[in-house]
Structure 1
């Protein structure tokens, strides 16, 4: 090859290599500069933080001394009263000794006029004693804020320092004087001389007062206005020192509050790294000025050199790889030419064998005709990985050219041909071919799907042959995949529709729950409001009955009382149902004996049954159950009330029996019976049987039984025969035997005469927000002989309350309009100066209201109030108080 051709061939490559090396070196040079500057800025900020803490620790070490001296009795006495010479000398020595111990510069005691009356430097010619320092800021700060701080040049000594002051107060807190300590910070400047760079400290006005180089001291970082200069002159902060401005321009802003600047005054060569750190308490700012030109330049050179070397290494490696590829290509081309020459000379010698081979191929290809009926494309490969047989569908699927598929052709050629058309997928072609050849050699069955560029999807199944070789089938499943995609899209659409319908149903359910909750609250509020006039009616009726003498009129009043009692039962049942629907009913599950409960119910309903002409028998038991005793009592009360109502002349039986691990409590009656078609219906609200019984029932008793049983998890049973009677039962979990407590001894609660009644002459207040209830209560209580000075609402009660005039008893409603009964009673107790007994009369039958009464030591009666029960409770409380 000619030298000129070699030069033309390698010249562009050489120019590209050199140009790339220069570009990479420049980029690395800039990156090295930025990286080194960032490291230098971080290092400078760390040094500043370290020295900032050291400076703050120096100030903190002396901070407590003036605070302690401000509490010294002798110093307080000195600035409070007249000062004689002996006391002044003693104070001077005291401050001198304290200053010597603390190793400060000066300790000074200043009176309220700003005159130094004692100082630790009293022996020196420039003593502070007798000097006036009231114009110094640290004196004014101490009198106004209690303490002060100030840096400046000493007025008397001419030595700069940091002044800390503390106010001295008398016992009443009045200011007496100020004690001041002066700290010389020049030692800090000497320690900073060992630093690599220039350390500066500036005040809040930007005046540099500490510096490791003299030409930086008393320079201003920014222009000072006239007011600032006048204030410095008045306080003589820097004495007669001239304040010269600094001149600098910022070239680059870096991280960590650092910047690269060029300084003209005082003159500095090159660019300087300027880092700053504020001191929070004093308002000062620390500055570190460093010449980072040499290290930055060295780092940039190192980065550029390393990048250039790496680029040259990469270029040489690329040149080596290109040359090697060319050599490989040259060897392959020479080999191909040699093989072609050999084949050309050997073709004439093999003409006879070629004829035999063609005959053999024709014989072997007979298998393809047997495979032509298959809808899949099929190819058979022998043990040497050569094509042995195929069918027409295989050639059609892959669109092979005529005579390309032949017996004896290596399957590797077929794979390579398909790879050139992109049918083997992405990635290196040779790797894909070798992977498939290794799979055929291993003889592993496989099934997979492949999608061609035209969208055709093939299902490929391969299985090994017993004597070696492999058979592979190719099925066109494009229509099947399209149908599957359509099914998936339909399924997705169906899922979305189901999700939308589910969301709509959930919203409807929430709306229904909210509507039910609103209905429950409305029922509870309505029942509470209806109980108020019902309570007043029963009180008016009680007062009226005592004045009726005619027997027929008294019978009429009893009928009215019975009607009001039935209305009371209906409202109470509605309130219970609303409470259970709102899930506010409290449940107290525990173990208890059944005997006391069944005995009490038998006595109570036995009297009612006898009055109606029937008999009630009770079978005693020793069993114990696990349930809520109050709610179970309510269930049995409703079942017994139902049995008494529908058995006017017959027999009723109350008893229980074991049922495995449970106890079944049963109520038998000989009433008219219940048809099977209506046995489920009677447990609904306001459903009553028209045949038999009276017309008093509300149709809510069995509905409440059903809800309480579901709340407690108890089973309700019913067996009935027309004309023979019914059996209602409730199944309760059985518990271990529980000791039965003896009932309290009965006391004689017979009516007392008017002259011996404890209610006679007692003072009672009635607090209710309903005017009719107040009037009814007043009439009833006055009939009982009570003195009722007040029966009104909350505002009238507050106005009538007088200290020492508390009543004997208060009948209190829980809700008094906008006020709460307990809050109003607390205000009355504060006005009376003492407390009294309380009976809480309210239509709120919740457990929370009853718990409120128990916690406050009050007694609770639900509205509408039964007058005999109220009279008995009032008599009991008054007798107990007496």
Structure 2
């Protein structure tokens, strides 16, 4: 006995120690893995914050440089100013500041005194203030430019100061122009993040923060020299710089720290990641909540403990299996025997009991003793006739109560006193049971006793009057059913846990897909930039080639560039659809006009391949996005032309209830059934296309995504050797909802085209693109008085020489195109229309251009699109003589 006790003790001890050890190991591994993953995510997020901060500052960097070249500002610094001249300067700076939406523009003389400022109307104006002690003033006068972040001594508002020296004709500095950039909007954007975002200077002073409690804190103690310099420059005015109390708990790798903060207080450790901004000499910090990592660590510990316990129990189970095999087998046989007997008895119980009752002696009957059930027989007067000992055992009746002729009502009242008839009214319960016995109605039900015993009760009337009732103990069957239910509940819980794990994995995969989408969009943007010049030059080649071989080479070059352009544009479209940036404009429109466009666009191409394209006319009105639906059909028709060697291609419609199915039939080689799903994946294409045009493998992938975006079903049916049918199902629209077409304006004759003789300035810093575009403009009849970079344009602009239209690149080296346009308009004294050209697919810039009435084209610019937009803009302008 003692041996078994020691053995049990050691077994329990090993299980407990193993559980604790497994929990510790699993917890540390899960915490380290989760922190590394979160560290990478925080690094990516921190890079985005840094990029937004640098872009916000770069947006205003060029304005001081441009204003430093202004002749009026130079003249203002060379002699004492009258009140009228100061007023003109104030208004000029106010107008320039309004165009750039900066905080403040200030003109400062050689002695550091502000002689004009854009905030001259405010109560706390900069005009007349002495800023000679500020570093950005000293740096600009000494080195030509300066930068400084601090709290404004006049306004009390913090900002980032950029300054540029203004030089006289002999090269000596005579003053400076300074711009203060307010960064409170950036802090407001940071507040939307659940994490804490901070920016500190080279001394470790936190000056930007997503929460006020963290601003003007010290990451490290200040040296005496630093304190003296801060007091001299009054960088943070009267702000009390408090220390940031924290403790570094551990290094997580890749520059990350796990830190605990006591002032300001954070309830739990955070993941601290920092990023250096060398150009600004700042450091960006992000404090990320580690609750997810800690939760993952806890769950891993619990899972490991559960696994260890499960393995331990499995080992114990295996060890006990052999010793319990015989017992389980014997119990199973006994249970099967009982079940078999019970089933047999259930089929013959009433007949046997009735027969036994007929042959029974009065009182405790020997003929009923062999039955496993408790049995009682009463006569038609509801008095005891016979019973067996099992009946007495089940209900524990006293011996004096069990006698022949005893009314059954006495037994019922005895059971009621012991609470066996439930909590209902006793008299009502007894009366109901007596009435049931008198009626002689057979019955079958289950009853649970207070000690947990469950009885199956069967009752049947006797042929000559009276009633026989049997009581079978089915407690073991009920216990087995409860155990099965417990096992089912445990299995359901495990399935729920597995479902949660799979859901977490799905969310992680979606997050990784979003990062991939942003990367694809950025990469495609960079690749599209150099294509612009190449497309412009290729469009010029046919006019300079006079032999068929040369024109064929030029055509091949243009086709290759077009294919590359299509691939990159398709990749960009896929990225925009996956990131949710592709907007839809669903409306009711007649389908026939769209089919005519498809016929016109692809009819000649089909004829050049020896095919015949036919778009069957229709009167149907559909509800969709017209541009996106046209793209779906163009992809279908383009694929049909590419893979059909001879025959015809038919585009037709078929009504399907409230839907209209638009089908494209071809007589191509067909598509094997095994590939009919794969061809809708990216870069999946067949090899049966024409040798010089086998596609990019992206057209059908875009079609599938466009179908999901619009809610249109996309389908395909095909047979090898008999062609294919691609179709899209579109909802039918309301013909009455279509607005009548506007009356056509008077057409402009070809001889008086809007571009003929038009004056255009082209501001572009890329010489190849500039040269190609200028040649195109001159071929279209435009005059190009100027084509060059931003500095040359600023130097040439003067009142009276404004063009009719400006073509303007957005990124001109370090200069920003819209800022240059504002200065040019000021020098011209006019605001001619402008078309922005950019390789950056920024929806915000496109929206701003639309709000201001500017044109917008994304690079690589297609010549037909440029010509159409220029014509449209010039037609809206009053015709005047060019300058």
Q: TM-score, normalised by structure 2?
A: 0.49
Greater Cα radius of gyration, structure 1 or 2:
1
